[in-house]
Homo-oligomer: A and B are copies of this chain.
Amino acid sequence: MQLERRGYVKAGPWTPEVVVEHPEAVRQLHREFLRAGADVMQTLTFYSSALDIGSEVPNITCQQINEMACDMAREVANESGALVSAGVSQTPVYKGRSSESEVKAIIKKQLEVFLRKDVDFLMAEYFAHVEEAVWAVEVLVTSGKPVAATLCMSPSGDKDRVSPAECAIRLVRAGAKIVGVNCHVDPTQCLQTMKQMREGLDAAGLQAHLMIQPLCFHCPDCTSEGYLSLPEAPFALESRVLNRWDVQKYAREAYKAGIRYIGGCCGFEPYHIRAIAEELAPERGFLPPASQKHGLWGSALDVSGRPYLRARASRSHWENLKPASGRPLCPSLSIPDV
């Protein structure tokens, strides 16, 4: 979504060919997230599987994208000690039980590239049906690499209404070492889902690391269908964007909930990731490079010539602020389309 705002990716098809067409833009974004404190460079391979099944850019293949995406993630990760993770996501061929072999074949083909590029760990992400995610995990674990798995679901469960608790159990039993959620709903709802996942795992006596990558949009009006059903998606979501203080609050709550892989999905920008790193600096023991250009809790304002700006150089100002929308003709919630 950041690359869309920078002019490189088309919203709607979310064109992964940017990796081949504009590597400098992708590399720059990786670097910004690294500077912001990210421990993992996730390869931009999202939805690349869709490319071989009818694309606007027939001369760019999924394999080509995946290879370049891995190379770039590694290149930037090596600038500090970050890890590289390569991901597969829901496939366009999934249509229930009968599609198992087809889905697995697509995942397997992507895995071959990831292994050749020797990424550090693997990820099955943005799956809407736990069944398909389990298949992906089953393929990925054959590599011997650690596997993470996330579903894009609300607290009411996956597309087939399988509960978060049950989803977590199935993914761990399939071999995932890290399980969680990504996309579709906001931090508040993601945290509710994670609570259910954790309780499910505990009740089943299973162990796994927990992972969370919510939207960077406030969407309390979301139904189980996720934020795409809101009339603002995807081109008028600005007014819903979390600020850095919202993100710090989210990061703290995620940490308290026992989650240790804490990140973000659509809408997250480098400064949002930095906010996670800053909030958890006491636990991590260090601040990220980008914090050299950021006063914690607005402290850089204390050099301002304006007294009212200096007065905002305080945690209490930012923590208690109820930011106005500047849009008196607009409501605070929308009615989702579905």
Contacts and interface: CB of A to CB of B under 8 A. Distances in A.
A217 B243 CA distance: 14
Number of copies: 4
A332 B325 CA distance: 5
Residue in A15, A328, A335 whose Cβ sees the most chain B Cβ within 10 Å: A328
A63 to B, nearest CB: 22
Say what secondary structure dominates the interface of chain A: loop
A280 interface: no
Contacts of A274: 7
Contacts of A62: none
A7 B321 CA distance: 23
Interface residues of A, number: 83
Contacts of A12: 295, 300-304, 309
B236 A238 contact: no
A324 interface: yes
20 contacts: A8-B290, A9-B293, A10-B300, A11-B301, A12-B301, A12-B303, A12-B304, A219-B326, A221-B326, A235-B245, A236-B244, A238-B239, A238-B242, A239-B325, A239-B326, A311-B337, A324-B332, A325-B330, A327-B331, A329-B333
